[in-house]
Amino acid sequence: IQLCKPAKVTMITDSKEDIAYVRELALINGEETKLKMEGHTIHFDGYYDQGRDKASTKYLLSKDVDWGIKVNSIEKEKGLKEMYSYLDGSMAGKEMLVRFFSLGPTNSVFSLKALQITDSAYVAHSEDLLYRQGYGEFKKLNGSSDFFFFLHSAGRLENGVSVDIDKRRIYIDLEENRVYSVNNQYAGNSLGLKKLAFRLAIKKANEEGWLAEHMFIMGVHGPGGRVTYFTGAYPSACGKTSTAMIPGQTVVGDDIAYLKKINGAIRAVNMES
């Protein structure tokens, strides 16, 4: 709060009223517009904010860590100094939304808790559509810091879209399970729970002996009512969603899967809702 300096801070619970408040705020702020079909809205990203910014997405690494030239990274102290300079006052005159989510089913050995702080009601609304609410899960933490943390600011806006694209930054701190994102709205850069959380989950899975994978999960219906579940790892834009949605089959997930060995068998969940 001291860094971003919002005019107002609102903590959103799992209640229907709070979730409806976020959706309405996206309309009031001009980030979304109603469509003729009841209950549907549309959001337009800025002209220069139409895709993931790979060049500005970097890992924050300590001075003694070297992952090689193939990994886009920045020295942690230097990166945080730059990020804080852009986040300083970034929410002035705006409302900070504090969101609580669960990646994977709640009350499950798969569930990962995720805290999203943002000044974009569009981002918060989008995450309500994609992920499970987790306010109740956070109440069980009892002071633990075992959760993912995402701080995002759309930055300075004109006509409802981010304009300081030259200062767009997405920095990932694997040591602290934190991601900082500023001066953007495009979902791949702004929604912490999507591919940014995936990177944190990969590290956590590697340390704990399970898998976080870019996979679909589906159930294929065979003779005699048999259903066989399997996962498929295709690169982006190569058919995960279309395969998972083959007519007559069961869709479990089309993007990211968590897999764990439970009682001698591999079990998988869709980390999205």
- Provide the token pair at 143: 């002071």
How many CB atoms lie under 10 A from the CB of residue 138? 17
Place of tokens 């200062």: 167
- Tell me the whole-structure pTM to 2 decimals: 0.94
DSSP string, 205-216: HHHHT-EEES-E
For 15-71, how does the pLDDT look when each residue is reduced to its tens digit (9 = 90+)?
999 999 999 999 999 999 999 999 999 999 999 999 999 999 999 999 888 888 889
Q: Which CATH architecture has domain 8-208?
A: 3-Layer(aba) Sandwich (3.40)
- Per domain, the residue ranges of the chain are 8-208, 211-270
- Examine the pLDDT at 159 and tell me if it is beyond 90: no
User: What would the mean pLDDT of 146-175 be, rounded to a whole number?
Assistant: 96
What is the spatial order of strands in the sheet that 216-221 belongs to?
227-232, 216-221, 250-253
Euclidean distance between the first and the last CA atom of the chain, given in angstroms as a whole number = 29
Q: How far is CA 192 from CA 108, 130, 189, 213, in A?
A: 21, 12, 7, 17
- d(Cα 161, Cα 245) in Å, to the nearest integer? 33
Q: What pLDDT does residue 68 have?
A: 85
**25 Rama class: left (phi>0) / alpha (psi -120 to 50) / beta:** alpha
- d(Cα 31, Cα 98) in Å, to the nearest integer? 18
Across the chain, mean pLDDT equals: 96
Q: Is the dihedral of CA 151, 155, 161, 163 positive or negative?
A: negative
> Is 238 labeled as catalytic in the residue annotation?
yes
For 58-105, how does the pLDDT look when each residue is reduced to its tens digit (9 = 90+)?
999 998 888 888 899 999 999 999 999 999 999 999 999 999 999 999
The maximal CA–CA distance of the chain, rounded, in angstroms, is: 62
Q: How far is CA 115 from CA 85, 112, 222, 233, 249, in A?
A: 22, 10, 41, 28, 34
From the candidates 65, 227, 238, 246, which is the catalytic residue? 238
